Homo-oligomer: A and B are copies of this chain.
Amino acid sequence: MSAKKKYNIRFRIWFYADDDKFLGKGRVELLERIKEVGSITNAAKGMKMSYRQAWQMVKEMNESANEILVEKSLGGKGGGGASITKAGERAITQFHDFEQKVNRFIAEESKKLTI
């Protein structure tokens, strides 16, 4: 018999607030980009998404969260910008931390497989 194959396990996680999608990989990336570029329009461009889609995602996140994650700032050329709140920062950090914990757990558990 040939050497035993090792399986590696991939996963995706999504946070829901009741039945509403709250956070996933894509939304967290959007938050990170808004943080970086200070604008929903430019964050959307970076992800090849329309402003409309990005704004919809921001709206849904803000509505699902206990405290809003993104706030719009007023005025200026190009219609003003957007920034991440403290709750937005926590959302980014905690989503990544969660992914890492699940990743470690899964890597450990996968050693026990005997398929």
Please give the residue numbers on chain A whose beta carbons come within 8 Å of chain B beta carbons, in ascending order. Answer: 4-18, 22-23, 64-66, 87, 90-91, 94, 98, 101-102, 105-106, 109-110, 113-115
Contacts and interface: CB of A to CB of B under 8 A. Distances in A.
A24 to B, nearest CB: 9
Given A65-B115, A98-B113, A13 B9 contact: yes
Q: Is the interface of A mostly helix, strand, loop or mixed?
A: mixed
16 contacts: A5-B17, A5-B64, A5-B65, A5-B66, A7-B15, A8-B18, A9-B15, A10-B16, A11-B12, A13-B106, A65-B115, A66-B115, A94-B115, A98-B109, A98-B113, A102-B105
Contact of A115 (B87, B110, B114): B87
A54 B71 CA distance: 48
Contacts of A109: 98, 101-102
Contacts of A91: 115
A62 to B, nearest CB: 12
